[in-house]
Amino acid sequence: MEIEAFAPAKINLTLHVTGRRDDGYHLLDSLVVFADMGDQLTFEPGPALSMDVRGEFANGVPTDDRNLVWKAAEGIGWTGHIELSKSLPHGAGIGGGSSDAATTLRTLAEQGFDVPPNLPLSLGADVPVCQAGRAIRMQGIGDRLVDVNLPHLPALLVNPNIPVPTGAVFNALASRDNPPMPECIPEFESAYDCAQWLREQRNDLEQPAMAVAPEIEQVLDELSTTNRALVARMSGSGSTCFALYPTMKDAHFAAYEIGAAHSGWWCRATQLN
């Protein structure tokens, strides 16, 4: 019997780089939310592991043990055929591969398979938070997760269709010891309140990412000037940027505005939570 699952896009509303361990892992303090859009997976049990990838961003995605979805299924001993429909761009800072792997773990765990405790983090720092799939403060190397209550956040995601390698961005980071977020994250009554607080926070990878992909600065400028934009920032290590709005109508209007001006950009209005 086929099992269908949804892998939402992950958005870093903040990303503070607070240190680096001796083993090279960076320490982070990040407020993470998830979109109501993402990739789709279908699982069909069988005697051997196999995989197909289709969809808008299927090109270049491996269908063997190089894929995190394959690694996740193999790591818990599941066999069968997996079909992955890729709607999220690659190298985009929105956790496409990590969310796909996390959704694989979560879906197969619901079918009775045991997930080894160390497996999620071994697949990537974003996999544990993507397993949760809800608003969370992520700290450490991605291993410390605390639930956060946030209002629904109307948003526009924009990517200039330029993949950004995470390693290159971290290599361009000037300072690896930066202040964390405040100890307590307030309760927000509205998207406006949340955006006002976010203005005082950071994504420490934004500047180094611009050095790798200067187009990110143009995307942020365009988002900042859309009507009723509350705050604009880059997600993760780039190259996707987001803006928050008071309503979904505002987000859709901004999507139309930017999409008309930049037909080559990936542009999606969504709700974050």
**Catalytic annotation on 10?**
yes
| Integer angstrom CA distances of residue 262 from 87, 148, 152 | 19, 35, 27
Q: For the segment 149-204, what is each residue's pLDDT rounded down to a tens digit?
A: 999 999 999 999 999 999 999 999 999 999 999 999 999 999 999 999 999 999 99
Confidence of residue 80 (pLDDT cuts 50, 70, 90): very high
Residue 140 has a pLDDT of 97
Angle at 44 between CA 38 and CA 48, to 5 degrees: 115
CATH label, 3-146, candidates 3.30.230.70, 3.30.230.10, 3.40.50.300, 3.60.15.10 = 3.30.230.10
Give 225-236 as a 3 state SS string: CCCCCCEEEECC
Question: Which DSSP string do the residues of 134-182 spell out, in sequence order?
Answer: S-EEEEETTTEEEE-----EEEEEEE-S----HHHHHHT-S-S------
Residue 3 has a pLDDT of 98
Domains 3-146 and 150-272 alike in fold: no
Q: How many whole angstroms separate alpha carbon 90 and alpha carbon 68?
A: 13
Among the options 10, 29, 39, 204, which is catalytic?
A: 10
Within 10 angstroms of residue 117's Cβ, the number of other Cβ atoms is 8
Q: Is 48 exposed, middle or buried (0-12, 13-18, 19+ CB in 10 A)?
A: exposed
Q: For the segment 118-135, what is each residue's pLDDT rounded down to a tens digit?
A: 999 999 999 999 999 999
| Integer angstrom CA distances of residue 223 from 18, 145, 167, 266 | 27, 30, 26, 13
Within 10 angstroms of residue 250's Cβ, the number of other Cβ atoms is 22
Q: For the segment 136-158, what is each residue's pLDDT rounded down to a tens digit?
A: 999 999 999 999 999 999 999 99
**Catalytic annotation on 39?**
no
On average, the pLDDT of the chain sits at 97
CATH label, 150-272, candidates 3.30.70.890, 3.40.50.720, 3.40.50.300, 3.50.40.10 = 3.30.70.890
Q: What are the residue ranges spanned by the domains of the chain?
A: 3-146, 150-272
Among the options 29, 100, 126, 250, which is catalytic?
A: 126
Confidence of residue 55 (pLDDT cuts 50, 70, 90): very high
Confidence of residue 106 (pLDDT cuts 50, 70, 90): very high
